[in-house]
Structure 1
Amino acid sequence: MELDGSRRIEPIILVFAETGGRKIVRTARQAAEVLMQDWPIDDGEEFFTAVKTCLDVITGDAEPDRLRQAIIRAAAEAGIAAITVIG
């Protein structure tokens, strides 16, 4: 199995209300880092789906667009503003 964390997604700007911090997610690796290090909740259903989808994209079992949609849903669940950018 070949891992590819560099698989690109259309950018998403995440704005964290509690800290005011911002993160731009452009790759599966960046998505994994944000989900594991910066996410304010780690027990939501959409959060778990996003983590699983991230792994699936990195292992080549899912397309990057699925990850983008999963992150947007997880952000809504966690109260994170997700600004989508079409590039």
Structure 2
Amino acid sequence: MKWDTSASFDPVILVFKDSDKRMIVRTAGDAANALMKDWPSDDGEEFLVAVKACLDVMTGNIEADQLREAIIRAAMEAGVKAISVLH
């Protein structure tokens, strides 16, 4: 199976409150890294939806913009600030 980690969307800047860390997410690969390595909690419903959306984008089952929306919802759930940048 070929994974498309480069599927891109308008950037979302994530600001993590505990470490003042900032991250720009603009591809499915970026989103997967953020969710698996940097996310403050891995048990929220929106977190799980975002993880599934990553897989769905990488396999071509949904559009990248749907993943972007899932990341924003997961950030709200986890208390991560999500700054939405639209081009």
1:63, distance to aligned residue in structure 2 (A): 0.3
* Pairing 1:55–2:33 present: no
CA RMSD of aligned residues (A): 0.6
Structure 2 residue runs of 5 or longer lacking an equivalent are: none
TM-score (norm 2): 0.98
The 3-state SS of whatever aligns with 2:17 is coil
Aligned twin of 1:73 = 73
Q: Distance between the aligned counterparts of 1:35 and 1:60, measured in 2? A: 19
Q: Which amino acid aligns with 1:67?
A: L
Matches within 5 A, 1:1-87: 1-87=1-87
Q: Which amino acid aligns with 2:39?
A: W
Q: Which amino acid aligns with 1:42?
A: D
1:60, distance to aligned residue in structure 2 (A): 0.4
Q: Distance between the aligned counterparts of 1:84 and 1:48, measured in 2? A: 21
Q: Distance between the aligned counterparts of 2:18 and 2:9, measured in 1? A: 25
TM-score (norm 1): 0.98
Structure 1 residue runs of 5 or longer lacking an equivalent are: none
TM superposition outliers: structure 1 runs of 4+ over 4 Å: none
- What is the aligned residue count? 87
1:77, distance to aligned residue in structure 2 (A): 0.2
Q: Distance between the aligned counterparts of 1:9 and 1:35, measured in 2? A: 16
